Amino acid sequence: MYRTLQERYPYAHCELDFDTPLQLLVATVLSAQTTDVTVNKVTPTLFARWPTAAALADADRTEMEEVLRPTGFFRAKTNSVIKLGAALVERHDGEVPPRMADLVKLPGVGRKTANVVLGNAFGIPGITVDTHFGRLVRRMGWTAEEDPVKVEHAVGELIPRKDWTMLSHVIIFHGRRTCHARRPACGACPVARWCPSYGVGETDPVVAASLLRYELAPSAAGSEG
Ligand code: SF4
């Protein structure tokens, strides 16, 4: 099933824009309760105005709130980003540490965020369990676990470690584009034949195809046919 999904979404990638581990860490914190597209709209201004952990730590709160306002919960997010900058300066000389044990001790950083940063900014394989990921792997029968850490370990047993980061992208792409929370497009799903939940969504192929979202990334339109 993983191989088939990878063929469907060969362009799967981290949809947050970033150049450095710090930028990815902050962008991931900002992505709570909003879309990656919205985060990508504010981060260029954020990182141009406050390019380092020290600058984030010393930021004028009101000014940062205005920049983060479009992402929602902007007061809490401003607070998180300033605290995160301060913790990085105090504990890690302003650098993002490339270790799970250090990352999860930073304010506002859980395993999900840590795995995003490790996998995409440091090349250290990580499985990113968010709500989409958990829903999908349960639907596909890969695990019955509900707890995100247990899901992470259960899926980690099934898939080679080197594939964990790509697996996370592929599953999240599948959730956003095909296996939607409310109305999955089962009739247009490449893993339908193996999926124990086939039929929870729309099975008519034509109707199901109309439910697909962002199915063809511009760069992949040629290869999808
Ligand atoms: S068959 Fe339906 S429930 Fe199963 S993975 Fe595909 S879209 Fe999701």
In the chain, the domains with their CATH numbers are: 1-10+127-178 (1.10.1670.10), 21-122 (1.10.340.30), 186-216 (no CATH)
**19 counts as catalytic:** no
Q: Which of 4, 174, 180, 186 to mutate to test the pocket of ligand 1 (most atoms within 8 A of CB)?
A: 186
CA 38 to chain centre: 13
Statement: residue 225 has pLDDT above 50: no
The answer to whether the annotation marks 189 as part of a ligand binding site is: yes
Statement: residue 216 has pLDDT above 80: no
Do 195 and 140 meet the contact criterion of CB atoms below 8 Å apart? yes
pTM, whole model, 2 decimals? 0.88
Looking at beta carbons, which pairs linking 206-209 to residues 24 or more positions away fall under 8 Å?
A: 209/185
Do 17 and 43 meet the contact criterion of CB atoms below 8 Å apart? yes
Statement: residue 219 has pLDDT above 90: no
* The pLDDT of residue 7: 95
Rounded to the nearest angstrom, the distance between the alpha carbon of 179 and the centre of ligand 1 is 5
Task: Say which of 36, 130, 150, 204 is annotated catalytic.
Answer: 130
Cβ burial of 101 (10 Å; 0-12, 13-18, 19+) is exposed
Q: How far is CA 141 from CA 50, 90, 96, 202, in A?
A: 44, 44, 36, 19
**Ligand 1 proximal residues by C-beta, below 6 Å:** 139-140, 178-179, 184-186, 189, 191-192, 195, 197-198, 200-201
- Listed in sequence order, the residues at least 6 apart from 60 whose beta carbon sits closer than 8 Å to its beta carbon are none
Q: How far apart are CA 14 and CA 117, in angstroms?
A: 10
CB atoms within 10 A of CB 49: 14
**112 counts as catalytic:** yes
Q: How far apart are CA 74 and CA 59, in angstroms?
A: 14
* The pLDDT of residue 106: 97
The answer to whether the annotation marks 14 as part of a ligand binding site is: no
Within a 13 Å sphere around the CA of 221, how many CA atoms are in the beta-carbon half?
A: 4
pLDDT tens per residue across span 78-122: 999 999 999 999 999 999 999 999 999 999 899 999 999 999 999
Statement: residue 223 has pLDDT above 60: no
Within a 13 Å sphere around the CA of 212, how many CA atoms are in the beta-carbon half?
A: 20
Do 70 and 56 meet the contact criterion of CB atoms below 8 Å apart? no
